[in-house]
Amino acid sequence: MQTKVAFSAKRLLLTLLLCSCSVILLQSFDLSPRAGFLFHLICIAVGLAVSFLFFIPSVVIRVRTGFDFPTLVHRESPRLSPFIAVFYGAYFVYTAVFFLLPYTDMFCKKYFPETSPCFVAALLLISCVYAAAKGTNVITRFGIFLFVFALIANVLMMGGSVSSLSFGSGVVLNGTADELFRGALYFVTPAFIAVIFGFLSGFTKNFRLRQVVLTLILTGVKYAAIMFFVCFALGAYAYRQEYQTFVLSRVAHFGIYSGIESVYLALTTMSVFLIVSLFLCCVGKSVGQSGVLKHIICFAAVIFTLHTCAVYLRPVSELLTDTAVMVGFTFIAAVVVPCAYLIFGRVRLDKKAVGA
Amino acid sequence: MITVCIIYPFPLNIQEKCSYSNIGDFMNDSLKELLSELKQTFADSADLTVRELSLRSDTGLEAAVVTMEGMCDKEQLGQTVLTPLLSFDFGRDSGEEAADAVLHSVLASSDIIEFSDEQQLISFITSGFAALVIDGCARGFAIGVQGFAFRSVSEPESEVVQRGSREGFTEPLRVNMSMLRRRIKSPDLVFEQMTVGSDSQTQLMLCYLQNKASPALLDTLRKRLSECDLETVLASGYLSDYLEDPGTSRLFSGVGISERPDTVCGKLTEGRIAVIVDGTPAVITIPHLFVEEFQGVDDYSNRTYYAAFIRVLKYIAFFASVFLPGLYTALAQFHPEYFPTWILIQTSEALSKTPLPVTLEVLMMTFVYEVMKEAGLRIPKSLGHAVSIVGALVIGESAVNAGIISASTLMVVATAAICSYVTSALYPPIMTLRFVFIIAGGLLGLWGIVLVTAVVIISMCAKTSLGVPYMSSLAPFSLRSMRDVFIRAGWKRLSDRTINVRNFPETEVR
């Protein structure tokens, strides 16, 4: 039930900010423990600068035509659109599993060892189908509540860890070029939000380029804050853990209350819920407006199947959670295809010509 | 309950046509045929009163005054209708001439309406008018002599205020209209009459400020009310389902209910529309938003800091009433390590002595509480103390002493129950969600609660009320409206605001 009312582009980007921040909640940092905090800052800056480049094709299409990418494809080359829909369908399925797998893994390892990851994924996907059926506008409204909750959760997690800070390590600029590449690659992961933006920006109004820049800067600030606390509060211990942010939440204490990891659990659950719902919305958008719910359910079933395969087959799991593969796939989806379309499709990027 | 008798000062404007069987156009009928048809239509109902009169005239004029028993003020009927009619000499007047004389010279009432068919006649007499028909005349007269017993104007029990008006709506439509008119004397205040219910022919009024309410919203509302195909409408609640936006969740209500005229007037000034249904003191206001549930009349009379405190208190109470039993269940069952040590020891000790799992214990206690609440509402007041004693001593203290339930469970359920009355209008969704969260927390722990919360928020964000997002002010966020959401800004700041529901962001119908 997508409402026909356009909503503010700020809200979409706020939602995407939450999505990009969830990367650091779910993934272990692929960085060297001997590299200092400043080195991590450079990695974050490089990674997010590259992410900004991923945004450019979608932004160009949005600003110059007023359409989102799928709408442009449907209008300009209907014969190509099925192939593009298949490609992006595969991309969204892959990315959804990329986030779902570490989430269910973390959930079952840290909280409920006796629960099957497939059960967790199934329940989560059912909820996401419901949300996706309500439409992008509604999901971004949900994003406002999640933003407030994320603020409180981060203050609790970081504030509660202040007592554990140890300033004896970290403010050094160690690190090799290889580590810089790996670090930057990790921080390019949030570039997947550029693809979501490219697909859903058609529902929005009052878009400005500075909103994208601000989103990426805030993502960087969030990453830097978490890296700061991880570097100083936990140091090398944190790097050996699978989910460093989770460890950060465990060391948080407020007097006799130390259950901050429940807040972390809630935050990651809501974030994954948000991301997967948005992916399902994008799938609905890519395959067209008719029978959206049917398509959403089909793709949710595909995501569940792939997730189940990954749970039981290690090679599949390794492939699906590989950051390099994810970044490469995102590069094709966010940059190569839109650019190829723009250049070789000879699309007239003139608002009047297309919109008339 | 005090009963009084009043005379309505307002003429009814019967526009809608009724659809009764056996009804003809009485212009062509003689008086006897008309009365016969009327009695047949009402199946000789005991409350149909026909007073046949032989008027003083040379031509032997016959007339009849038709009323419904108990709907008219007999004293006024005698003084303004019967006595003047019987004492006036009509001379050699024909039926039509006599009708003119009646209209201009005989009747002492200020409220006389002409009608010309039997359907209108029925509408008038069932509304408390006295209908005068004269043999040989194609017209009839409805004379405003209404007067029947009804509950007096009193303070509504469900919306008690500390500072402010003590008046509440009552059952008769016209009295409720007058309460609004007394507060808003502007000619922009419009009452628009409609009739719903094919059998009950219930009158209702759409009430709005024509300079504030959106015409598109009004059209939508009229259309939805005209689609109401109920045979009987006895209360405003019957119409709620018809006024809700199609395809949206029914968990939270998209229509507001108030029994206070000052509350309704406040909502009218923000561009909302009120629906006053005859026979019920609960007036519908629409569009209705989530944040309105936390606003009270007292907020606008109290100091701003105190009003802000009360608002925040209400939000906290709402969250506690919904989440507390579910969270307790989830923590006790799946995450006892989150309890501080001393609470953990006491809770574990108490729970280990009870036979039931904590989820069942909380569910059972919540259910018992709901039963007691319902019983307390329905039984005579004199027995209310007995129920309180049974609830407090037998089910509470004795059950804890007997080891059937733990003291901590009892405390959690009781706290949630008390919190739910802070926002009493939200009680139905609170009660439903409380059960859902207990089950989710009991089956899936904190994760279940988080997941259900996400779904509920999505459902609330998707809901609209006449096209206005139900969660307006929060999501879509409106900084301007924040002056009257979690806090209540001072009147100097509120007075220059131009809050109007049609201006809320992402409103579909403007």
Q: What is the pLDDT of residues B169-213, one digit of tens each?
A: 999 898 999 999 999 998 999 999 999 998 888 989 999 999 999
Tell me which residue has tokens 């069987």.
B21
Distance, CA of B366 to CA of B374 (rounded, Å): 12
Write down the pLDDT at residue B25.
Answer: 54
In one-letter notation, the amino acid at residue A61 is I
Q: Is B337–A137 a contact, with Cβ atoms under 8 angstroms apart?
A: no
Write down the pLDDT at residue A3.
Answer: 58
Write down the pLDDT at residue B429.
Answer: 95
Whether pLDDT at B29 is above 90: no
Contact A3, B504 (CB under 8 A): no
Contact A171, A36 (CB under 8 A): yes
Write down the pLDDT at residue A346.
Answer: 57
Write down the pLDDT at residue A348.
Answer: 55
Distance, CA of B65 to CA of B148 (rounded, Å): 18
Which sequence spans correspond to the domains of chain A?
Answer: 7-345
Please name the member of B334, B341, B458 whose beta carbon is closest to the beta carbon of A131.
Answer: B458
Least confident of A173-187, B75-89, B174-188, B259-273: A173-187
Length of chain B: 510
Main-chain phi, psi angles of A98, to 5 degrees: -55, -35
Distance, CA of B71 to CA of B65 (rounded, Å): 14
Show residues of chain B in contact with A203, CB under 8 Å: none
- For residue B471, the 8-state DSSP code is T
Tell me which residue has tokens 């603020």.
A151
Average pLDDT over residues A296-312: 94
Contact B435, B363 (CB under 8 A): yes
Q: How confident is the model at residue B223 (pLDDT cuts 50, 70, 90)?
A: very high
Whether pLDDT at B5 is above 70: no
Using a CB–CB cutoff of 8 Å, tell me whether B330 touches chain A: no
Q: Is A273–B451 a contact, with Cβ atoms under 8 angstroms apart?
A: yes
Write down the pLDDT at residue A257.
Answer: 73
Write down the pLDDT at residue A289.
Answer: 63
Structure tokens at B149: 């017993």
H/E element holding B133? strand B130-134
Structure tokens at B254: 């998209």
Q: Is A257–B340 a contact, with Cβ atoms under 8 angstroms apart?
A: yes
Average pLDDT over residues A153-174: 74
Length of chain A: 356
Rounded to 10 deg, the angle between the A117-134 and A292-312 helix axes is: 160
How many CB pairs lie under 8 A apart between chains A and B?
84
Nearest residue in A to B448, CA atom: A123
- The count of other CB atoms within 10 Å of the CB of residue B9 is 11
Write down the pLDDT at residue A349.
Answer: 54
- The count of other CB atoms within 10 Å of the CB of residue A221 is 12
Q: Which residues contact A261 (CB under 8 A, 6 or more apart)?
A: A110, A246, A249, A250
Q: What angle do CA B452, B456, B459 make, to 5 degrees?
A: 140
Contact B107, B141 (CB under 8 A): yes
Residue B114, beta-bridge partner list: B141
Show residues of chain B in contact with A265, CB under 8 Å: 446-447, 450
Of B139, B1, B8, the C-alpha closest to B71 is B8
Q: How confident is the model at residue B2 (pLDDT cuts 50, 70, 90)?
A: very low
Average pLDDT over residues B438-443: 95
Show residues of chain B in contact with A134, CB under 8 Å: 458-459, 461-462
Structure tokens at B28: 């062509």
Average pLDDT over residues A145-170: 82
Q: Which residues contact A352 (CB under 8 A, 6 or more apart)?
A: none
Q: What is the pLDDT of residues A56-77, one digit of tens each?
A: 999 988 888 888 888 888 887 7
Query: In B, residues 441-500, which contact A (CB 8 Å cutoff)?
Result: 444-447, 450-451, 454-455, 457-459, 461-462, 464, 469, 471, 474-477
Q: Is A123–B444 a contact, with Cβ atoms under 8 angstroms apart?
A: yes
Whether pLDDT at A352 is above 60: no
Q: What is the pLDDT of residues B34-56, one digit of tens each?
A: 888 888 888 888 889 999 988 88
- The count of other CB atoms within 10 Å of the CB of residue A245 is 24
Q: Is A141–B454 a contact, with Cβ atoms under 8 angstroms apart?
A: no
Write down the pLDDT at residue B452.
Answer: 96
Q: Is A145–B247 a contact, with Cβ atoms under 8 angstroms apart?
A: no
Using a CB–CB cutoff of 8 Å, tell me whether B427 touches chain A: no
Q: How far is B333 from chain A (nearest CA, A)?
A: 12
Write down the pLDDT at residue A4.
Answer: 67
Show residues of chain A in contact with B475, CB under 8 Å: 141-142, 144-145
- Secondary structure (3-state) at B4: strand
Q: What is the pLDDT of residues A167-195, one digit of tens each?
A: 655 556 666 778 888 888 888 999 999 99
Q: In what side-by-side order are the strands of the sheet with B273-277?
A: B189-196, B202-209, B273-277, B283-286, B256-258
Please name the member of B450, B462, B505 whose beta carbon is closest to the beta carbon of A266.
Answer: B450
Q: What is the pLDDT of residues A230-242, one digit of tens each?
A: 877 666 677 777 7
Is the ipTM of this structure higher than 0.95? no
Least confident of A82-91, A168-177, B322-331: A168-177
| Chain A residues touching chain B at CB-CB below 8 Å | 1, 3-5, 7-8, 11, 107, 111-112, 120, 123-124, 127, 130-131, 134-135, 137-139, 141-142, 144-145, 256-257, 259, 262, 265-266, 269-270, 273
Q: How far is B462 from chain A (nearest CA, A)?
A: 5
Show residues of chain A in contact with B457, CB under 8 Å: 142, 145
Of A5, A19, A7, the C-alpha closest to A196 is A19
Q: Is B446–A262 a contact, with Cβ atoms under 8 angstroms apart?
A: yes
Q: What is the mean pLDDT of chain A?
A: 85
Write down the pLDDT at residue B21.
Answer: 42
Show residues of chain A in contact with B476, CB under 8 Å: 7-8, 11, 141, 144
Long-range contacts of A231-236 (CB under 8 A, 24+ apart): A231/A36, A231/A37, A231/A40, A231/A169, A231/A170, A232/A37, A232/A165, A232/A166, A232/A167, A232/A169, A232/A170, A233/A161, A233/A164, A233/A165, A233/A166, A234/A164, A235/A33, A235/A166, A235/A169, A235/A170, A236/A33, A236/A169
Tell me which residue has tokens 């893994």.
A105
Least confident of A280-284, B487-491, B492-496: B492-496
Write down the pLDDT at residue B178.
Answer: 92
Q: How far is A283 from chain B (nearest CA, A)?
A: 19
Structure tokens at B232: 């009987």
Nearest residue in B to A112, CA atom: B334
- Provide the percentage of residues in chain B whose pLDDT is more than 90: 40
Write down the pLDDT at residue A38.
Answer: 84
Q: How confident is the model at residue B71 (pLDDT cuts 50, 70, 90)?
A: confident
Contact A283, A301 (CB under 8 A): no
Distance, CA of A247 to CA of A239 (rounded, Å): 10
Write down the pLDDT at residue A134.
Answer: 92
Q: What angle do CA A344, A349, A355 make, to 5 degrees?
A: 125
SS3 content of chain B, % helix, strand, coil (to 5): 50, 15, 35
Distance, CA of B509 to CA of A5 (rounded, Å): 10
Average pLDDT over residues B89-107: 85
Which range is most confident: B43-57, B251-265, B335-349?
Answer: B251-265
Nearest residue in B to A270, CA atom: B454
Nearest residue in B to A4, CA atom: B508
Largest CA distance in chain A: 66
Nearest residue in A to B508, CA atom: A5
Which range is most confident: A202-216, A283-297, B84-98, B346-360?
Answer: A202-216
Q: How far is A11 from chain B (nearest CA, A)?
A: 9
Write down the pLDDT at residue B406.
Answer: 87
